[in-house]
Amino acid sequence: MRAKKFTAAVVLSVIAAVGFAPLANAAVRPTTAQKLQLQYLIEEEKLARDVYLYLAENVTTLKFANIAKSEQTHMDQIAVILKTYNYFNPTTTRAPGVFRDKTLQALYNKLIVQGSTDVAAAMQVGRDIENLDIKDLQVMLKSTMPADMKLALNNLLKGSTNHLAAFSR
């Protein structure tokens, strides 16, 4: 009997966490400003991934390749949020190093030149990118938003904080 109660509790917990979460969250949708921020944010994560992949190939440090994989995970998390709310994902058809946002395109071009000088310069580029991500995420997290969006942004913030520490060692 105890095993059945435990199994039932687990099943109900899973249903509550997964099955009903979208319904509970449906009443709160991101604002138009938040939608635009999410679209910018996914491109900002792409910027980090693409710069790190470039530096991994050209500066030859494993740290960049490993963190680039994490940046892809960040992009995947934001892509899920964009899809949940039926928002356009500006990264789906973009090649590495190509951005819809002109500011991010210019920043990418600048950062790969700066980071290509040597390993120390590359590490500084990594710190600059993570500081930018942290600043933008902290601003976004100050507003009221759907729970799934808040969870994803908090995960990205933790990741960026870890990446900043890795580039500072």
Query: What Rg value do the Cα atoms of the chain yield, rounded?
Result: 19
Cα 118 from Cα 60, distance rounded (Å): 10
Cβ atoms of residues 167 and 68 within 8 Å: no
At 31, list the tokens.
């604002």
With 70 as the cut, is the pLDDT of residue 152 above it?
yes
pLDDT tens digits along 79-111: 999 999 999 999 999 999 999 999 999 999 999
How many degrees, rounded to 5, is the angle at CA 169 between CA 63 and CA 156?
Answer: 65
pLDDT tens digits along 23-46: 444 557 889 999 999 999 999 999
How many degrees, rounded to 5, is the angle at CA 150 between CA 49 and CA 9?
Answer: 115
